[in-house]
Structure 1
Amino acid sequence: MTIAKPDFIEGIAKGMAVLESFDTERQRLNATLAAERAGLTRAAARRHLLTLAHLGYLETDGSYFWMAPKVLRFSGSYLASSRLPRALQPTLNRLAAQTQESFSAVVLDGEEVVIIARSGSYGAPTRVLAYGLHLGARLPAHATSTGRVLLAALSAAELNAWLKGRLLPRLTPHTLTQAKALRQRIAQVRADDYCIATEEHELGVQALAVPLRNMQGRTVAALNVVLSGGPRPVQLLERDLLPLLFEAAREVRALL
């Protein structure tokens, strides 16, 4: 969404930039680190950190700051009010009970994908992945099955804009880090209407994803299953799990 310049509140934008500078890599920031990550001066970052701490969104020891539980109000409000997670949850639970695997629904947000709904893992202990699979977890779009499914739904112009000047970090020896190779992979995903990503985001982890489309044919999310314990043959995934994902996507289409 674009707005007129007079309607844009710079202070809110800077405050949100500071808040968004906290992530799994940097869970505690001082004013200098926050300034670097948010693109602000150290003095401005410090004022925003102090204000956010005063409002209860951050905690501090006087030098470093970290997120306080109050920030969960944002995600809690989204999950409680958004129709999409509530519509998908029963299907995710059914798939997990049927297969004893872990399923998630994911949306694209900038350079990352965000988990908005997930099942438990039935019948087997849930392995904790490096980046986590909890609600709200943010994962790099270029290296994940869901990210590629969602990027494949973009128009050519939107995909070009997404790729322009973007660094594609190497997360494992298998991660695609060249824009040309990623573009080719996305084109294949668009043709197949599904994506398998093997050990590109984390070693020992494989994922299969399909698009979730509404009745107008617009992709609004991606549905995936995440498998740990080492790669499985692609033919087995396509035979055993892909039909279940496609069936689930058809099943929820009227709800989206």
Structure 2
Amino acid sequence: MTIASADLIAGLAKGLAVLESFDMQRQRLNATLAAQRTGLTRAAARRHLLTLAHLGYLESDGSYFWLSPRVLRFSGSYLASARLPRLVQPTLNQLALKLRQPCSVVVLDNDEVVIVARSNTSTTSDMHQLSAYGLHLGARLPAHATSTGRMLLASKSQSEWQQWRHERELPRLTPHTVTQMESLAPIIEQVREQDWCYASGEHELSVHAVAVPLRDMQGRTVAALNVVLHRATAFDEDALVAELLPHMLDAARQVRGQL
């Protein structure tokens, strides 16, 4: 959404940018690091850090700052009020029970995808074997290296895709990660044509996932559904997709009328 410059509260935007500068790579920041990550001056970054700490969203030892549990109010409010997680949860649980594998529903946020719904762990017998990094509710994962990310990128219009890929960096996460846009582009085109995506070992080694789009009644893609497996030994990828895909497409059809 775009707004007129007169309606933009710059201070609020900068404060949120400081909050978003905390991630798995940098869980603790001082004023210098926060300034580098947000483009603010060190003095401005320090004032925002101190203000956020005063409001209870950050904790500090006097030099470094880190997120406090209070920031979970935002995610809790989203999960309590958003329609999408509530609507897909029963279908997710049924699918996980049928496939004996964990399932997620994910949305796209710029360079990342965000898990907004997860199947209940009680529905899968092998959840303790799943060691994939960052697969919890609310986790943010790189779009270019995940099945759901590629599925959602393929759902963009050609103009939106061209805008997204312009001057975009693709960080390497494993030896198998695609890091060149020239290599990612034909993959996205193939996903667009077949309308599903399989990704293996690009976000984390031995983690494999199949994703399909979730569309509303107008045909707009609002999210992606995936099934994740953790297998270190060799297996038939085509057979895996053939086994999972019909059930996933059926689940997507079940929720379409509610989206």
TM-score calculated relative to the size of structure 1? 0.97
2:24 alignment counterpart: 24
Offset, 1:179: 0.7
Q: Give the aligned residue type for 2:248.
A: L
Q: Which residue of 2 aligns with 1:174?
A: 176
Q: Are the aligned partners of 2:142 and 2:149 in contact in 1 as well (CA < 8 Å)?
A: yes
Q: 2:188 aligns with which of 175, 186, 189?
A: 186
Q: In the comparison of the two structures, how many residue pairs are matched?
A: 255
1:156 aligns to what? Answer: 158
With 114-123 and 67-76 compared, the bigger mean Cα shift is at: 114-123
Kindly indicate whether residue 78 of structure 2 is the aligned counterpart of residue 78 of structure 1: yes
Task: Report the alpha carbon displacement of residue 128 of structure 1 after superposing the two structures with TM.
Answer: 3.2
Q: Measure the CA separation in 1 of the matches of 2:235 and 2:111.
A: 28
Structure 1 residues 27 and 178: CA distance shift in structure 2, 3 A? same
Distance 1:33 1:13 in 2: 18
How many angstroms does 1:25 deviate by? 1.0
Match of 2:225 among 223, 226, 245: 223
Deviation at 1:229, TM superposition (A): 2.1
Q: Unmatched 5+ residue regions in structure 2?
A: none
Aligned to 2:244: 241
Question: 2:157 is aligned with what amino acid?
Answer: S
Greater Cα offset, 231-240 or 59-68: 231-240
Q: Distance in 2 between matches of 1:88 and 1:126?
A: 24
CA–CA distance in structure 1, aligned partners of residues 196 and 240 of structure 2: 11
Letter in 1 for 2:55: L
Q: Which consecutive unaligned segments of at least 5 residues does structure 1 have?
A: none
- Once residues 19 and 226 of structure 2 are traced to their aligned partners in structure 1, the CA distance between those partners, rounded to angstroms, is 29
Supply the RMSD in Å over aligned alpha carbons.
1.0
Which aligned pairs between 1:187-202 and structure 2 lie closer than 5 A? 187-202=189-204
Percent of residue pairs identical: 65
Offset at 1:126? 4.8
Paired letter, 2:84: L
- For residues 234 and 193 of structure 1, the distance between their equivalents in structure 2, rounded to whole angstroms, comes to 17
Extract structure 1 runs of 4+ deviating beyond 3 A: none
Change (3 A) 1:60 1:126: farther
Give the stretch that moved more between structures: 119-128 or 173-182: 119-128
Of the candidates 127, 133, 136, which is equivalent to residue 134 of structure 1? Answer: 136
Post-superposition CA distance 1:1-57 (Å, at most 9, x none) = 110111011100110110000011111111111111111111100100000000010
Residue deviations 1:158-216 (CA, integer Å, cap 9, x gap): 11110111100111111111111111000000111000001011101001000000000
Structure-to-structure mapping, 1:23-102, within 5 angstroms: 23-102=23-102
TM-score by length of 2: 0.96
Do the aligned partners of residues 126 and 67 (structure 1) sit closer, same or farther apart at CA in structure 2, a change above 3 Å counting? Answer: farther
In 1, Cα distance between the equivalents of 2:217 and 2:177?
A: 34
- CA distance in 2 between counterparts of 1:244 and 1:149 reads 17
The secondary structure found in structure 2 opposite 1:49 is: helix
Aligned to 1:107: 107
Separation in structure 2 between the aligned mates of residue 27 and residue 197 of structure 1, nearest angstrom: 28
The answer for the alignment partner of 1:143 in structure 2 is 145
